[in-house]
Amino acid sequence: MSKKYNNIYLVFSIIIALGLLFGLVWGNIVSIHQNPVEKKFLVPWLGMRTFLELGKDPYGKPSAQRAQVKFFGSLANSKEDPLGLDQPFTSEILFFPIALITDYTIARIFWMVILELGLIASSFLCLFLFEWRLPIRMMILYSLVTVLGAQAFFPLQENDKAIIVLLLLITGLLLVKSGSDELAGALLSLSFFQPSATGILCLFLLWWVIRSKRWRVLWGMLMTQGFLIIVSFALLPGWFISFIRSFKTELPFSGYLTTYGILSKMWPGIGTKVALGLTIGIIILLILELKSTHNQDFRWFLWVAMFSLTISPLMGIPVLSVNNLFLLIPITYVMKILSERIKTKWRWLFTGALLGFIFLGGWVLKFSNLIFHESVVANNIILLIPYFIITFGLYWVRWWAIRPHQTWLDTIKSGEL
């Protein structure tokens, strides 16, 4: 009898999965009908198509002009985005499988389904990473918040590869935790394809791997990157110079934000000095935290990893607005610790309220940004406010969860840092 029920449950699960997949495809078709052309997927896909069909440099004018005609309906003028390819060929070759699809609309549908499934998978893997056991209702609420929140909606709407990088990063950290070092190294090296978001974290991971003598992680990193570099130069020997040229041309249209740009507009007289002071202060904090991971358990590694991911924009590193997606990981970490510290019957009510606050807060910040578009207020909303709040939350975790009843001053007095 139990076998019969198991078969029925399996069939029912397959039907639900197929229904969800059909729903995703149908939703993507509707979305593409409303927004027929975008550029985050168009440019790398068409660049690889140009290379496959014509054998021409995907960073060259023919590729950019094809994208311009597709996006604008004609060649771009001097004030419009030239739509040059701004990612290295080592990551561009990963678009090869989907570039085999010759029709742009069909290729984009497949890409959007991949992004949506990647986003759903990331939300659940994030729970596994921090071992946060939620009741089924809370798990559904958490998934809805992480998938439908503003920080995820807009990268998905823009077809941005940041979602894939997020999935690679979370999976890589999980594999480090489980001891699957070679595969972890391979995935973590691929997460460097969004360096404005993960660059500092990847440098920390490299430092930690060498200091901890986890040589198999390093081997996985080097083997993966070495393979991609060899293949990229074998296929297109002169790609690096072309990439630099295309990147410089595209840079003014990329929408990068920095603390230096924001603070210099806010306070023209001292803004640059304040940003420099913030950079120096964050670097000092990071060095102190790196020292604290020596001979510590995985909790310390995970905390410094979250800290490295969060403080990158505050160091003055140019970032994109879609990088807010990566805040999913440290937010989940802080929320997990918060919920565990509440031992009363109101624990899950508090967790649900906090999830609702994060969901509504994200959308309020996003709509505020749209209202104050390209102003100092908007840039502060995007860059400074979320990252400062989460950094504060991480230090709460450090002081009261990882090392209970011990403050920063106590650690300095005891000589542990």
Structural domain of residue 343, as residue ranges? 35-71+87-413
Domain assignment present for 4:
no
pTM, entire model? 0.85
Interatomic CA distance for residues 286 and 301, integer angstroms: 13
Domain assignment present for 336:
yes
Residue written as token pair 């565990």: 340
Where residue 142 falls among pLDDT bands split at 50, 70, 90?
confident
Is the pLDDT at 224 greater than 70, yes or no?
Answer: yes
Domain assignment present for 82:
no
Q: What is the mean pLDDT of residues 196-202?
A: 87
Q: What is the CA radius of gyration of the chain?
A: 23
Domain assignment present for 149:
yes
Domain assignment present for 80:
no
Domain assignment present for 81:
no
24 vs 308: which has the higher pLDDT: 308
pLDDT for 223 equals 92
DSSP state of 257: B
The total of other beta-carbon atoms located within 10 Å of residue 259's CB is 27
The percent helix, strand, coil of the chain (3-state, each to 5) is: 80, 0, 20
Domain assignment present for 107:
yes
Query: What confidence tens digit (pLDDT) does each residue in 20-42 have?
Result: 556 666 666 666 666 767 888 99
Interatomic CA distance for residues 165 and 373, integer angstroms: 27
Domain assignment present for 189:
yes
Percent of residues, the chain, with pLDDT higher than 90: 14
Q: Are 262 and 384 in contact (CB under 8 A)?
A: yes
**Of 44, 331, 322, 315, residue with least CA distance to 199:** 315
Beta bridge partners of 319: 257
**Of 296, 329, 286, 285, residue with least CA distance to 169:** 329
Structural domains in the chain (count): 1
Is the pLDDT at 12 greater than 60, yes or no?
Answer: no
pLDDT for 405 equals 41
Q: What is the mean pLDDT of residues 240-267?
A: 86
Q: What is the mean pLDDT of residues 83-101?
A: 89
